[in-house]
A and B are shown apart, each in its own frame.
Chain A
Amino acid sequence: MNYGPLIFLAAFFALASSWFGLVLTPQMQIGHLQQTNTLGAGATYPVARPGLARRGIEVYRANGCAYCHSQQVGQTATLCDVVLAEAGTNQAALVAALLSVKPALTDANAVQLMAKLPQTVLQGASREVADTVYKALKASGSKAELWIVPTGPDLARGWGKRRTVAEDFLFDYPVMLGSQRIGPDLANVGLRQPDANWHLRHFYAPRLEVTGSAMPPYRFLFEKRRIERARSPDALDLPPGLAPGNGYEIVPTQEAKALAAYLISLRADAPLFETPMTVPAAPGTNAPAATNLPAPKAFGAVNSTSPARK
């Protein structure tokens, strides 16, 4: 029997199946992702990073930051909370609803609870249980809110408000996901540390800002130069042990500034369809608990970016 064609076919299918699984399927799954709308506000997400931050990702990549820092926030479960926002006019019905929902409450406790609203009536429940409680409270005429809350160790550490998804990295190439957490996760560091000076001091001497830090100092991102006429406004404020001698100052180079700008642009907190969560409204707005949308200017950016997926 002529085994030649058979061997060819076997080799062809082996190569074709690996191409199918490693190239075609990921492209069909993730490669076509475009900007999408955030939940509720219709603002496009994500918006491209500003120019200095785009140079910053190159600095991040060149200095191997991804070896110690990850940029992915994980989530282990989604739970529902029911918050009683306002007591309606029918107090008796609300007390009855509260007692049916929380049998351990006494009448007096229920009235006390209604005096100090908003109060979380139910925490960490499944969607079905939370829906029943929510309907019971609304039926009594009060204003209740059903909050979808993601949970997990990363979120408990304050590393983000929700898990990261592929859309968060739409404009990053290559994606600096990282795999180790020798240092903290950086997916939302722009929310935690929005101050560029903090980052610059941290690059120059990590233990200045973080006690017991294992991060090596990145002094080569700075230059020590003589003070000419006046101290540069960019010069770092360093304590006596680290400050350069008299007449000299430490000034960040463009690379350091770009890296700081990149870190400040890192945030992944807009609510999306694939990461359902409720975010309380900012105080002073007359919009109810809705979304953590970027400033309204971002909505205007719709006209200048690729069509959003509706």
Chain B
Amino acid sequence: MNAQPTQPVALTPAGGGPQAGRAPAPVWSFVLLFVLFYWGMVYFDLHGGWFNPQVYTPYATISEVERYQPPREGPDLARGKAVYETVCGLCHNNDGMGKPNQAPPFVGSEWVLGSPARMIRIPLAGLTGPITVQGQAINLSSMPAMGAALSDEDLAAVLTYIRSSWGNKASPISAEQVKAVRAEIGNRTQPWTAGDLMAVPEK
């Protein structure tokens, strides 16, 4: 038995083996990454539109899209025409002449050209009973509240369309006026009669 302990095998080879030397982080890569990151941010700011689904090139922000909207001056007759032909024209005829046993005409009608307060009330609650339009007494089945379901803008647009079409020339009606009248009549469901309407001040 060889009792003499053997020389331990060198665990590190001669020369010291691999060394953990000094390897400072490469500054050039940090600078390059920073430049790329900055370029990326600028590109995103100029072209991303901040991920707004309504911003497409060549606009950069939503405010630019708003800036380029066509001017909306005056009454929106196209919208009024669209609403009229869907809602009112079926009974009052698309040329505003009314249907003899169904609905009175709008052309030259004093109810249309007169006070906005009275005209706005008619579609909001409907009309019943006899009414005189341009000297003609008309007594038809009552009109339902066709305008009750329309928004303020839609009702204002269609009333403005009626007041400025087929030779009618009266002032446009704004959504605020419709809103005010809606507030005044509350949730009235009883249709108006001609007498009720005449009791409304002309304002």
Q: Give CA–CA (A296, B67) in the complex, Å.
A: 29
Residues of A within 8 A of B18 (CB): none
Which one, A25, A127, A134, A274, contacts B54 given CB within 8 A?
A274
In the complex, the answer to whether A276 meets B68 with C-beta atoms within 8 Å is yes
Residues of A within 8 A of B65 (CB): 273-274, 276
In the complex, the answer to whether A75 meets B79 with C-beta atoms within 8 Å is no
Indicate whether A163 reaches chain B with its CB closer than 8 angstroms.
yes
Interface residues of B in 47-73 (CB under 8 A from A): 51-59, 65, 67-72
Which of A211-219, A226-234, A280-288 forms contacts with chain B? A280-288
Interface residues of A in 2-32 (CB under 8 A from B): 25, 28-30, 32
Of the A-B pairs whose beta carbons lie under 8 Å apart in the complex, a sample of 24, sorted by A's number, is A29-B51, A29-B52, A40-B78, A40-B79, A41-B82, A42-B154, A74-B57, A127-B68, A146-B71, A148-B68, A148-B70, A271-B70, A273-B54, A273-B69, A274-B65, A275-B56, A276-B65, A276-B68, A287-B78, A290-B76, A290-B78, A290-B79, A296-B85, A296-B86
Measured CB to CB, the closest approach of chain B to A40, in angstroms, equals 5
Indicate whether A169 reaches chain B with its CB closer than 8 angstroms.
no
Residue of A whose beta carbon sits closest to that of B55: A274
Chain A, interface size category, equals 35 or more
Measured CB to CB, the closest approach of chain A to B166, in angstroms, equals 8
Interface residues of B in 164-195 (CB under 8 A from A): 164-165
Binding site for A on B (CB under 8 A): 51-59, 65, 67-72, 74, 76-79, 81-83, 85-86, 151, 153-154, 164-165
> How many A-B contacts at CB < 8 Å in the complex?
89
Residues of A within 8 A of B56 (CB): 75, 163, 165, 274-275
Q: A163-B56, A166-B53, A286-B165 are in contact. Are A42 and B85 (CB under 8 A)?
A: no
Which of B53, B55, B65, B165 has the largest count of A CB atoms less than 10 A from its CB?
A: B53
Indicate whether A278 reaches chain B with its CB closer than 8 angstroms.
yes
Q: Give CA–CA (A25, B67) in the complex, Å.
A: 26
Which one, B58, B76, B154, contacts A77 given CB within 8 A?
B58
Q: Give CA–CA (A290, B76) in the complex, Å.
A: 8
Kindly list the 4 A-B residue pairs having the minimum CB-CB distance in the complex, ordered from nearest. Answer: A290-B78, A287-B77, A296-B85, A274-B54
Q: Give CA–CA (A60, B97) in the complex, Å.
A: 48
In the complex, the answer to whether A287 meets B81 with C-beta atoms within 8 Å is yes
Indicate whether A299 reaches chain B with its CB closer than 8 angstroms.
yes
In the complex, the answer to whether B70 meets A286 with C-beta atoms within 8 Å is no
Q: Give CA–CA (A291, B77) in the complex, Å.
A: 10
Q: Give CA–CA (A249, B32) in the complex, Å.
A: 70
Interface residues of A in 153-196 (CB under 8 A from B): 163, 165-166
In the complex, the answer to whether B83 meets A290 with C-beta atoms within 8 Å is no
In the complex, the answer to whether B82 meets A296 with C-beta atoms within 8 Å is yes
Residues of B within 8 A of A288 (CB): 74, 77-78
Which one, B53, B153, B164, contacts A29 given CB within 8 A?
B53
Interface residues of A in 267-310 (CB under 8 A from B): 271, 273-278, 281, 285-288, 290-291, 293, 296, 299-300, 310
Which one, A42, A78, A127, A277, contacts B82 given CB within 8 A?
A42
Residues of B within 8 A of A166 (CB): 53
Indicate whether A76 reaches chain B with its CB closer than 8 angstroms.
yes
Q: A127-B67, A273-B65, A288-B77 are in contact. Are A299 and B82 (CB under 8 A)?
A: yes
Q: Give CA–CA (A55, B72) in the complex, Å.
A: 40
